[in-house]
Amino acid sequence: MRLSNIAMYTGQAPLVAATDALWAYIRDRLRRAAIADVPETLEKGITHDEAWVQPGLLLAQTCGFPYVKHLRGKVQLVATPVYELPGCDGPSMRSFIIVRRDSPAGTLADLRGLTAAINDPGSNSGANLFRAAIAPLAENGHFFGHVVETGGHLRSIDAVTAGRADVAAIDCITFGNAKRFDPGRIGGVRILAETVSGPGLPFITGSETSPEELLLLRQILADVASEPMLADVRNTLSLRRFEVLGDADYKPLAELERQAIALGYPVIA
């Protein structure tokens, strides 16, 4: 049996149900096209990064920065979702740099010496875009007094709210979903600044996926935008359509890292 894991944005129950319904549509289309070993349900027993490198990967969603850093040449880009949420621009997205609602900070410079939360050092939205925003302000490779790793964007929001951190960068899709489905979670924070935008989280397939299967996957995802039975799914996920992007579209994410390194700020510190 092949593997599918597209549950990157499932922080709230409605998103879980909608993502499962989206997969059911994709699954049934693949089976009608006589694709073998299509899994019945999404694989939820392994982490996202484990799924990306599994043999027999049929479909997964990855982060753009891990793709350009580690996965390029090992997997194939299928298509990138276009979300309709504040901070999204076509297939591109940005992060919101948040602080507690009562924080006196008015600019990024006011955060010097404070505690930052990141979801994962390899994350584009939680670390790479964040680093790009802070790099011009850093001195001798440092800006913050302390950095904590939370393991997830929602946990980073909670860390800021609870005072365990003073600032975090939250991708606009996670923030928008929380605002829609869990508004109390963001009630104690405010957006201080926005990062630059970059290409969003692409759907990928394994290197062994045939050209015919790749074209079929792209056609199915293209049809998601107009399939009447998926209207509620699209609305719940704030998903409007998919666009096919290439490696060149993701190179700017690596360039952001290069620029930060050139400024002497290789990691958030």
Per-residue pLDDT tens digits for 91-121: 999 999 999 999 999 999 999 999 999 999 9
* Residues forming beta bridges with residue 59, ordered by sequence position: 4
Whole-prediction pTM value?
0.96
Measured CA to CA, the distance from residue 183 to residue 189 in angstroms comes to 11
What pLDDT, in 10s, does the model give residues 212-247? 999 999 999 999 999 999 999 999 999 999 999 999
Residue 241, SS3 per DSSP: strand
According to the model, what pLDDT value does residue 48 have?
Answer: 80
Domains, the chain: 3-88+199-252 (3.40.190.10), 93-198+256-262 (3.40.190.10)
- Whether 3 and 43 have beta carbons less than 8 Å apart is answered as yes
Mean per-residue pLDDT over the chain, rounded: 97
**Comparing C-alpha atoms, which of 243, 6, 250 is closest to residue 128?**
250
Alpha carbon distance 45, 4 (integer Å): 11
